[in-house]
Amino acid sequence: MTKITHRFAFILFLGLFLFGCGDKTTGVEGILIDGKNKPVSGVSIIFKPVHPKPGHEQFETKTSTDGRFQITGIAPSSEYIMTILSGRWSTHTAKKIKTPQPGEKLVLTAPIKVRFNQLKDGTVVDTATGLQWLVFPAQEITAANVVKAVKDLREAGFADWRLPSSREVAGLLENPALAKKTCCVWTAEDSSESVEWVAYEDDNQELWTSKKVSPENRIVVVRALTPSTAAAPAPSAATP
């Protein structure tokens, strides 16, 4: 009876020891896509804990050619903020993630979409439409002079800026839950020189926060990302 008791105690101790030496971390997998649902490769995915713990302050990995990323060694049952870092553009896109139990892996079923890329020249590329946007500070702009002011623009090395249509402005809305009615932007329909001063829905995305300029002291302009009339090579929005 004593031998059986000792043997049982030894097995129990061994089991507890092995369990205690098991993997006490966890991992997360996902995929990063652009506005056209194409993979975004070579950008950094950064995980920062909401409540930092020693040894788990920050973790970083890069997306592969198919946009996939995998991060391991992070603290289990913890909240992290996932952000995205590129050498060529920035984004407001971020995601709060709750990690699973120790030894388990969380696979994000829905891809993480990065639609807007704010480039280092101050322009913003909408990867869903292929349009490049710019908020240009300007003084004393009126319906009488806004078209000429836009034609004279040579910002970011391009000479083909134009006023957006009201449909294009409305199409910028990405998150209706965050939107607020804001006044206003100059628009022109179908390359017409007839302009309107119209309100829009501001959901705090990259274009509307790219420059802190009041609406009356700016012009919001747009161009196709790769037109034949470009004055300089257009930047790529989907590469790091």
The CATH number of the domain where 89 resides is what? 2.60.40.10
Average pLDDT over residues 155-161: 94
**Enclosing domain of residue 90:** 24-114
Q: What is the mean predicted confidence (pLDDT) over 44-73?
A: 89
Among 62, 96, 114, identify where a domain stops.
114
Whether pLDDT at 234 is above 60: no
pTM score of the predicted model: 0.79
pLDDT band at 58 (very low <50, low <70, confident <90, very high): confident
What is the model's pLDDT at position 2? 52
Is 14 a member of any domain? no
- Burial of residue 165 (number of CB atoms within 10 Å: 0-12, 13-18, 19+): middle
Q: Is 237 among the domain residues?
A: no
Q: Check whether residue 122 and residue 179 sit in a common domain.
A: yes
* DSSP track, 23-82: ---EEEEEEEEETTS-B--S-EEEEEESS--TT-S-EEEE--TTSEEEEEEEPTT-EEEE
Q: How far apart are CA 74 and CA 94, in angstroms?
A: 18
The total number of structural domains that make up the chain? 2
- Rounded Cα distance between 153 and 168, Å, is 20
pLDDT score for 56: 64
Q: Do residues 123 and 137 both lie within one domain?
A: yes
Same domain, 220 and 126: yes
Verify that 96 and 174 share a domain, yes or no: no
Q: Which has the closest alpha carbon to 148: 133, 138, 134, 135?
A: 138
